[in-house]
């Protein structure tokens, strides 16, 4: 009997198999799994090559493959909390910042004592659904404190993180009486039980306290607030450095600082004049002076360890958690007017088109002539109110900016509109206004001068062959470009973006959408298609800024990466003490990961605080009607953004009219099977505020009517809508059974 030849799998079948595998899989294993032999293996090889070119699978070391966005069979994970069923949930310690974070549920635990919140463990992972894994804790790498920020009420505590719903009975109540709505730190039990109890650690405040939203964010994200005593002492001894052969006197140059009206630390000062070189007609001579933080913060000292741990300053509506003690950040390293300050100065010459002809770096003493605000400078730029005594200086700075602006437009910088919410508080911590932060030409002037200096720093260090900490921004993945193309096609804005698309290609899409009904949705999807900028010792360029070399040099008061770049420049150019050390270079990879992570933590903490302040502002408006825009949809419901406040909230699927809703992932919309009602990203809807919880920042809305009708009757036959329910396996896992109801989109 002739043995029947095994059929060649389709691309979908190949991807489905790869999705069921934890870890990497080789071509030999794939051929064996599908029974392929002979020439069929060549076809398999071509299929895998195609999948790799599309960005759906990748290989790092060796020839084995894994699905993009998949976790390996064993990985280091951090236990972050408990879900509503009392199971530990975790996140991978290493994960691309531009990929959606998978969820890991620890269902087996071999540790003694058992794994707890804050622990970092080695885990064996099994995929059970879309970005969903079951984990087995094998080995504890780092023991963490099982602390959770909670709200106390009637003897129970619940997390201020709205993703964690479980309540814990609080034992060992403190001697001082707790009141309902107090904010406490509690130890979460490592052993899971049907009636879990938490141990009281300390009270940190009350939900009713002024600035409670900031306090919660600080503790929730475990941000360091206090400096080491040694670090404070080192900062307190800082003085203006003495003159030396490595430091030039530039105190006669009338530098100015230009910052927000509420700024307290001034780490950059600028100056410009027409270039006197006759060969550079209408060109500009520019100086950008940056606080010489590396003079005061030396590698390995207490200040350095404090700054590295923090990674950056964190900015809240009511306060700043600085990266450096106030004695430096607001005093000796702040370029205050009429005060001698140590600085690193980037001196550059550009032509009338903004092209940089040459540049140099100098270590200097400077004296800022004036502290100006963006508002003052903008008024002068608009020809309204000149700045007395500095008319020429501002005219020259404006001229240099206009030249740099020409270069920016020629480069084709990615121009995505990302509005920033500004929360205005009174002295009692109450929100009195929420507005969109205005970006004017005066802001852009400083931005362009800083970019000029940052590029010069990266080029200098690369030319000198010195290690440095680049600021890199990868181009969008093939997978994300494919998703963006699919979305644009569904809304009639077709674009044939390729994997090698440049920022100008994305700008063309945004320009075409500007002013149309879909401009918001297209802006959101173009933004989501982008990678996240990170720090790296390996240079891959900065896609968003359309720059081949870029490093952060201009804010060493508030970013640790900039201190490293300063140290590298000092070493490369032989500018005296405080150079980058060999030991620092050896740990650049670890440092890059750490400061990139701390940057994300800071951004998350800042956003969380803003969400809580806005929720507190709207809490007395429950039942009120708002105009909102759909920002995204998923199988649980609809996310909306209030037009007036920029606040984000959620509309549960259960609040919609009786229907079965299918999700069109490519078109980012939900479609009613029976009614044909469509809720799509970017659509405007009227909503009523149903729930508002300031302590978590969570808001729940009901949609009033709304939902466009799909033309031509029922929508279900018009597209293939598959609600992902996890990988097909022979038996339902514990996690799948528990998550089944949560992932359903059926509503009656």
Domain ranges, ordered by start, for the chain: 11-65, 74-142, 147-209, 237-469+541-592, 475-530, 622-747
Instruction: Give the CA angle between residues 315, 453, 337 to the nearest 5°.
Output: 60
CATH 2.40.50.140 fits 74-142, yes or no: yes
Residue 22, pLDDT above cutoff 70: no
- As a whole number, mean pLDDT of residues 97-117 equals 77
Residue 728, pLDDT above cutoff 70: no
Between the ranges 99-108, 130-139, 303-312, where is the mean pLDDT highest? 303-312
Is the distance from CB of 56 to CB of 94 less than 8 angstroms?
no
Domain topology for 147-209:
OB fold (Dihydrolipoamide Acetyltransferase, E2P) (2.40.50)
pLDDT > 90 in the chain, percent = 54
Residue 744, pLDDT above cutoff 70: no
256 φ, ψ (degrees, to nearest 5): -130, 150
- As a whole number, mean pLDDT of residues 585-610 equals 92
**Please, which pLDDT band fits residue 329 given cuts at 50, 70 and 90?**
very high
- As a whole number, mean pLDDT of residues 345-358 equals 98
**Please, which pLDDT band fits residue 387 given cuts at 50, 70 and 90?**
very high
Between the ranges 31-40, 102-111, 452-461, where is the mean pLDDT highest? 452-461
Average pLDDT score over the chain: 85
pLDDT digits (tens, 9 = 90+) for 54-64: 555 555 444 55
Instruction: Establish whether the linkage from the previous residue to 307 is cis, with ω within 30° of 0.
Output: no
Query: Which pLDDT belongs to residue 254?
Result: 97
Residue 246, pLDDT above cutoff 60: yes
Instruction: Give the CA angle between residues 342, 343, 344 to the nearest 5°.
Output: 145
Query: Which pLDDT belongs to residue 202?
Result: 87
Is the distance from CB of 459 to CB of 549 less than 8 angstroms?
yes
Residue 623, pLDDT above cutoff 90: yes
Residue 746, pLDDT above cutoff 70: no
User: How many residues can be counted in the chain?
Assistant: 748
Query: 463-468: long-range contacts (C-beta < 8 A, 24 or more apart)?
Result: 464/572, 464/573, 466/568, 466/571, 466/572, 466/580, 467/537, 467/568, 467/580, 467/585, 467/588, 468/537, 468/551, 468/564, 468/565, 468/568
Query: Which pLDDT belongs to residue 57?
Result: 58
Query: Which pLDDT belongs to residue 723?
Result: 34
Report the range of poorest mean pLDDT among 27-41, 316-330, 402-416.
Answer: 27-41
pLDDT digits (tens, 9 = 90+) for 511-524: 999 988 889 999 99
Report the range of poorest mean pLDDT among 49-63, 69-83, 108-122.
Answer: 49-63
Residue 370, pLDDT above cutoff 60: yes
Query: Which pLDDT belongs to residue 606?
Result: 95
Query: Which pLDDT belongs to residue 748?
Result: 32
pTM of the model: 0.79
Distances from the Cα of 578 to the Cα of 146, 246, 666, angstroms: 39, 12, 53
Q: Do 74-142 and 147-209 agree at the fold level?
A: yes
Residue 715, pLDDT above cutoff 60: no
Measure the CA–CA gap between 547 and 407, rounded to whole angstroms: 11
Please give the biggest Cα pair distance in the chain: 100
Residue 407, pLDDT above cutoff 80: yes
Instruction: Give the closest residue to 58 by CA, choosing from 99, 87, 92.
Output: 99
Query: Which pLDDT belongs to residue 646?
Result: 87
Query: Which pLDDT belongs to residue 349?
Result: 98
CATH 2.40.50.140 fits 622-747, yes or no: yes
């Amino acid at each position: 009997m002739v043995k029947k030849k095994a059929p060649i799998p389709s691309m979908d079948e190949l991807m489905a198999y790869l999705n069921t595998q934890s870890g990497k899989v080789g071509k030999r294993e794939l051929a064996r799994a599908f029974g392929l032999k002979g020439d069929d293996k060549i076809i398999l090889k071509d299929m895998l090559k195609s999948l790799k070119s599309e960005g759906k699978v990748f290989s790092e070391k060796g020839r084995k493959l894994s699905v993009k966005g998949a976790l390996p069979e064993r990985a280091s994970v951090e236990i972050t909390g408990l879900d509503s069923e009392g199971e530990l949930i975790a996140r991978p310690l290493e994960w691309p910042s531009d990929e959606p974070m998978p969820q890991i549920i620890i269902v087996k635990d071999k540790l003694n004592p058992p794994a707890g919140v804050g622990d970092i463990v080695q885990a064996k992972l099994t995929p059970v659904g879309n970005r969903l894994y079951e984990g087995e804790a094998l080995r504890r790498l780092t023991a963490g404190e099982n602390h959770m920020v909670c709200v106390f009420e009637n003897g129970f505590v619940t997390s201020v993180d709205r993703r964690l719903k479980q309540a814990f009975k609080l034992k060992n109540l403190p001697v001082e009486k707790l009141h309902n709505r107090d904010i406490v730190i509690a130890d979460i039990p490592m052993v899971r039980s049907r009636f879990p109890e938490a141990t009281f650690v300390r009270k940190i405040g009350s939900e009713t306290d002024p600035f409670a939203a900031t306090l919660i964010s600080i503790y929730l994200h475990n941000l360091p607030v206090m400096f080491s005593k040694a670090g404070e002492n080192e900062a307190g001894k800082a003085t203006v450095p003495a003159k030396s052969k490595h430091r030039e006197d530039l105190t006669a140059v009338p530098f100015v600082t230009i910052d927000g009206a509420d700024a307290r630390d001034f780490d950059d000062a600028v100056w410009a004049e027409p270039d006197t070189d006759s060969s550079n007609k209408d060109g500009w001579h520019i100086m950008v002076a940056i606080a010489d933080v590396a003079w005061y913060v030396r590698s390995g000292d207490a200040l350095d360890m404090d700054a590295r741990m923090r990674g950056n300053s964190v900015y809240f509506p009511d306060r700043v958690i600085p990266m450096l003690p106030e004695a430096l950040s607001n005093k000796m390293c702040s370029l205050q007017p009429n005060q001698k300050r140590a600085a690193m100065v980037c001196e550059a010459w550009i032509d009338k088109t903004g092209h940089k002809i040459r540049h140099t770096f100098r270590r200097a003493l400077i004296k800022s002539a004036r502290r100006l605000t963006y508002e003052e400078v903008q008024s002068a730029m608009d020809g309204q109110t000149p700045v007395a005594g500095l008319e020429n200086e501002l005219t020259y700075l404006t001229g240099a900016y206009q030249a740099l602006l020409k270069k920016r437009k020629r480069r084709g910088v990615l121009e995505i509109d990302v509005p920033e919410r500004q929360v205005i508080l009174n002295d009692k911590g109450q929100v009195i206004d929420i507005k969109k932060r205005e970006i004017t030409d005066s802001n852009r002037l400083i931005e362009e001068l800083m970019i000029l200096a940052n590029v010069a720093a990266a080029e200098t260090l690369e030319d000198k062959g010195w290690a440095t900490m680049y600021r890199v921004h990868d181009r969008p993945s093939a997978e994300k470009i494919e998703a963006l193309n699919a979305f644009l096609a569904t809304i009639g804005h077709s674009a044939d973006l390729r994997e090698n698309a440049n920022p100008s290609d994305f700008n063309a899409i945004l320009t075409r959408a500007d002013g149309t009904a879909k401009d918001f949705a297209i802006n959101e999807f173009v933004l989501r298609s982008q990678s996240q900028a990170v720090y790296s010792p390996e240079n891959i360029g900065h896609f968003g800024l359309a720059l081949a070399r870029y490093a952060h040099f201009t804010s060493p008061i508030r970013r640790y990466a900039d201190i490293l770049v300063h140290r590298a420049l000092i070493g490369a150019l032989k500018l005296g003490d405080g150079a980058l050390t060999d030991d620092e270079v050896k740990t650049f990879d670890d440092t890059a990961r750490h400061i990139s992570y701390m940057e994300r933590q800071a951004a998350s903490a800042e956003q969380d605080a803003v969400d809580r302040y806005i929720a507190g502002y709207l809490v007395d408006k429950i039942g009120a009607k708002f105009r909102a825009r759909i920002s995204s949809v998923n199988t649980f419901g609809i996310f909306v953004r209030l037009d007036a406040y920029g606040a984000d909230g959620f509309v549960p699927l259960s609040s919609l009219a009786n229907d079965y809703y299918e999700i069109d992932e490519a078109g980012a919309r939900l479609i009613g099977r029976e009614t044909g009602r469509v809720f799509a990203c970017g659509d405007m809807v009227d909503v009523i505020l149903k729930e508002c919880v300031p302590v978590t920042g969570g808001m729940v809305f009901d949609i009033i009517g709304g939902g466009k009708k799909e033309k031509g009757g029922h929508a279900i036959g018009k597209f293939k809508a598959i609600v992902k329910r996890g990988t097909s396996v022979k038996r339902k896992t514990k996690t799948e059974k528990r998550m089944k109801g949560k992932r359903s989109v059926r509503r009656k």
